[in-house]
Amino acid sequence: MQIQQLRAFREVAAELSVTRAARNLNYAQSTVTAQIQGLEESVGAALFDRSHRRLALTEAGARLLPYARIIIDAAEEGRRAVAAAQATPRCDARVRRVRRARVPS
């Protein structure tokens, strides 16, 4: 299971169309199809019912979708946290007081 597969899955589930999902993600339709097939293979279940003219989530797809959203949101939040940490300048200087200094003769 890869984050790109989950993003493709989330988008197809939202649009119920591989074509529109591919357009939204700026991917080729074949890429989105391959991502969905890889995810289905990974979880061992069909995520979409393709028997009708329009896609529909299967029970397995409906169960996976909220977890996919959580994982994607957490990954994006983690990425933002790392970017913010790198953008914040750090200063680790320490100041110590010296009582007496010995000057060599």
Q: Assess whether pLDDT exceeds 90 at residue 76.
A: yes
Domain ranges of the chain: 3-83
Listed in order, strand segments (DSSP E) in 1-105 are: 48-49, 56-57
SS3 28: coil
- Summarised one tens digit per residue, pLDDT across range 2-37 is 999 999 999 999 999 999 999 999 999 999 999 999
Of 43, 7, 40, 45, give the one whose Cα is nearest residue 26: 7
SS3 9: helix
Q: What CATH architecture does domain 3-83 belong to?
A: Orthogonal Bundle (1.10)
Paired strand residues for 49? 56
Cut 0.85: pTM above it? no
